[in-house]
Amino acid sequence: SNEASSKWLDAHYDPMANIHTFSTCLALADLHGDGEYKLVVGDLGPGGQHPRLKVLKGPTVMTESPLPALPAAAATFLMEQHEPRTPALALASGPCVYVYKNLRPYFKFSLPPLPPNPLEQDLWNQAKEDRIDPLTLKEMLEGIREKAEVPLSVQSLRFLQLELSEMEAFVSQHKSKSIKRQTVITTMTTLKKNLADEDAVSCLVVGTESKELLVLDPEAFTILAKMSLPSVPVFLDVSGQFDVEFRLAAACRNGNIYILRRDSKRPKYCIELSAQPVGLVRVHKVLVVGSTQDSLHGFTHKGKKLWTVQMPAAILTMNLLEQRSRGLQAVMAGLANGEVRIYHDKALLNVIRTPDAVTSLCFGRYGREDNTLIMTTRGGGLIIKILKRTAVFVEGGGEAGPPPAQAMKLNVPRKTRLYVDQTLREREAGTAMHRTFQTDLYLLRLRAARAYVQALESSLNPVSVTAREPLRVQGLGPTFKLTLHLQNTSAARPILGLLICFLYNEVLYALPRAFFKVPLLVPGLSYPLETFVESLSDKGISDIIKVLVLREGQSAPLLSAHINMPVSEGLAAA
């Protein structure tokens, strides 16, 4: 679509910007507290070589610094309430989270090391004491790598890559060092600490290669909570506050999405996808998941599937579009065919066509513009678009004309002879058929009304509880007296053939009369029915006793009541 009819203004396009990244490594923030929002990019570098941290102001790179390893995620968050309220920048790379304040290195958090494989430890101990030669060490380590559940350390993996001539020197260089097994960060997001405000303090939530989720304190960077997952998390979405209640959704490498609550060490719900997830975005209360089957799926936070939308091409990246001025939240999906599609639930709102396939997306305040869309492309290009202030997203705004389903012909079965005869009969005798139906309907209503009046007059369920407390307990224990009051509420009809049944825990109580017949109930009188209960427990435990009033020959009770038994004081004292 041309610029005049488009909802977007083309602010900038540089196909040679040399930015290679994905959506989780983009973040927008007012890093200097001057109202000018900057773009933070964890850049992988061309071909994954020379990763760098870049900060852009407008279309130009303001600062850049090298990173020790490939970035996994970038996030901006407030660490403390003190003025000036400038957000810190967190960048996850390898086993560390690098925290910057005012774009200067502030803190480095490293994941705690994992325990090494004991067999591997033993082999290196033998190598230190020269009890085994490098070739035997290599063979033994290869055996461990193939069979063991605990993976090898980086030191052993490097050793296995060496040529025979280099092994001796490597062993003598590393035999004094203790072997360490280090996991790496796969994903990261932020979670508000105790307030839902826009400028509230947030914790970092980190997913690791060792199938764990860690919540980090924003000031001390200690681990506040640790949760285990059945697989490695690759996408995270969090809602709520850490100190109050939060819900955490983690899309994992096994093709499942696990949902955890505040006090759960393990997942509470599991969503099984039929393909690998390629993105996870929460739109209001709906979890929107993109899969490798070129489709978007909507789920509730308990894992119930709401809808599925098929895409025309593979989904490369996803992110949230939030237009705060209009209260709109939608999901953006960058496709392999060079389209960016914007959906609200399953309704297509807008399609943006780009010169190259988009690999990362970010929407929000940039510079001093509230609604800016930033995209980077497969070839390293940078596209910046600004949403027009007059733009309104309307469902179906992505494609003009009738939906494709309208052109599909329905497979209508041929008319049978029976169908034609029935149609002719209905046409000829329609009035008579309608009258017959109406007569039957009125007769049914009349019979129901008569049966209802008869039930009221004869009071077919004439038993009621007289007192506010139908069951009373007397005594201190271990023997109690249980009294049930029954009354016949019918005007003139006595009742006969009722049974009383007591349901109780036979380990705690003994009832000599747990099932007995009720005498004839005269209308208007209250009948006290008594039985004795003996408490058998000497541990001061009490339980509920239920009473059912039944009619002979029927299993469904007419009435039921229950009482909480008191603790037996005689046994408790003993």
- Over the stretch 182-196, which tens digit does the pLDDT of each residue have? 888 899 998 888 887
- Six-digit token pair at 386? 């600004």
* pLDDT of res. 573: 44
* pLDDT of res. 334: 92
Can you give the pTM of this predicted structure? 0.63
* pLDDT of res. 442: 95
Candidate ranges 173-182, 415-424, 563-572; pick with highest mean pLDDT: 415-424
147 belongs to a structural domain:
yes
Q: Tell whether the model's pLDDT for residue 574 goes beyond 50.
A: no
* pLDDT of res. 333: 92
162 belongs to a structural domain:
yes
Q: Which amino acid is at 376?
A: T
556 belongs to a structural domain:
yes
> 80 forms bridges with which residues in the sheet?
none
Candidate ranges 124-128, 299-303, 383-387; pick with highest mean pLDDT: 383-387
Around Cβ 135, how many Cβ atoms within 10 Å? 11
189 belongs to a structural domain:
no
Look up residue 33 and give its DSSP letter: S
356 belongs to a structural domain:
no
* pLDDT of res. 272: 86
Domain total in the chain = 2
441 belongs to a structural domain:
no
34: enclosing H helix or E strand: none
- Over the stretch 1-55, which tens digit does the pLDDT of each residue have? 455 568 888 888 888 888 888 888 898 888 887 888 889 898 888 877 788 889 9
User: For residues 216 and 298, what is the distance between their CA atoms, to the nearest angstrom?
Assistant: 29
Q: What is the DSSP string of 233-257?
A: EEEEEEEEETTTEEEEEEEETTSEE
Domain boundary, last residue among 175, 192, 217 = 175
Work out the average pLDDT over 335-354. Answer: 88
- Over the stretch 466-524, which tens digit does the pLDDT of each residue have? 445 677 888 887 888 888 888 887 777 888 888 888 888 888 888 888 888 888 888 88
271 belongs to a structural domain:
no
pLDDT band with cut points at 50, 70 and 90 for residue 288: very high
Candidate ranges 81-90, 163-172, 428-437, 536-545; pick with highest mean pLDDT: 428-437
| CATH number of the structural domain spanning residue 549 | 2.60.40
Question: Which residues, 6+ apart, have CB-to-CB distance to 390 below 8 Å?
Answer: none
Domain boundary, last residue among 127, 146, 175 = 175
Around Cβ 565, how many Cβ atoms within 10 Å? 22
Nearest to 181 by CA among 152, 142, 158: 152
pLDDT band with cut points at 50, 70 and 90 for residue 462: very low
Nearest to 21 by CA among 117, 82, 91, 79: 91
162: containing domain? 118-175
Q: With 0-12 CB in 10 A as exposed, 13-18 as middle and 19+ as buried, what is 70?
A: middle
Domain boundary, last residue among 128, 155, 175 = 175
485 belongs to a structural domain:
yes
